Structure 1
């Protein structure tokens, strides 16, 4: 099993698909990485030899911006928005949609499950 950038790539996937398991690498970037490393994009991960894996690893290290470093950068950007109390930062802080979506009806993914409304009980009065 090939291990690149701290991620075990699935053995039975094509190289172009397997690289997308690394945070920060999507389809277009995976194809560019494989082109620079001179590796066939349709070759399966299990069929890559050690030299090809090392070339892929080297290209990814040269480009940078994957896995832990990228996650840290993204979280620091969000933290900065919260610190300066921008609109986007307050939306992140309150776990609401950030990019202007409506929240009256949708946004259940971001807001979480609905909270059940409890009907107000009438207090028993003494007679």
Structure 2
């Protein structure tokens, strides 16, 4: 078992997939991290050297991920609601925000965007 930022990963997991489990680290960021520290994309966590694990941890700790990023996103949505913008009102109603079709698919959007309802 290998610990990265307090998360315990089995040694047989791929490094790329394990990095993508963090909120805010997607396919592009994980690929760039692996290239930066010279780790092969199909490398497993158990095959990493201790220095590589420490380097990856240091790079992840510099990034805004997990709770910090979630808090920032929620603050941005809250700001939009308070200023009364169109996007803020759409967020408050649980409707699609970015111009998606609403004639037939609003039920799906309302289910996916469950948040407090406030205008």
Shorter-normalised TM-score: what interval? 0.7 to 0.9
What is the distance in 1 between the residues matched to 2:2 and 2:58? 14
Secondary structure at 1:69's aligned position in 2? helix
SS, match of residue 20 in structure 2: helix
Q: Give the match for residue 21 of structure 2.
A: 21
Alpha-carbon RMSD across the aligned residues, in angstroms, is: 1.8
Structure-1-length-normalised TM-score: 0.76
Instruction: Report deviation, 1:55.
Output: 1.0
Deviations 1:84-126 (A, max 9, x none): 01000001111111111122211332223xxxxxxxxxxxxxx
Check conservation: 1:9, 1:19, Cα contact below 8 A. Answer: no
Asked whether the 8 Å contact 1:33–1:56 carries over to 2, the reply is yes
Q: Give the CA deviation at 1:31.
A: 1.1
Rate the CA distance shift 1:82–1:50 in 2: closer, same or farther, 3 A.
same
State the 1:79 CA deviation.
0.6
What secondary structure is seen at the aligned counterpart in 1 of 2:81? helix
In the alignment, structure 1 residue 56 sits paired with structure 2 residue 56: yes
What TM-score do the two structures reach when normalised by structure 2?
A: 0.81
Aligned residue pairs, count: 111
Match of 1:71 in 2: 70
Check the 8 A contact 1:19/1:30 in 2, yes or no.
Answer: yes
Instruction: Pick the structure with greater CA Rg.
Output: 1
Deviating 4+ runs (over 6 angstroms): none
Q: Which runs of 5+ in 1 are unaligned?
A: 113-127
Distance, in Å, in 2 between the alignment partners of 1:25 and 1:32 is 10
- Residue segments in structure 2 that go unaligned for 5+ positions in a row: 112-119
Aligned pair 1:45/2:45, yes or no?
Answer: yes
Q: Quick one: distance in 2 between partners of 1:108 and 1:7?
A: 36
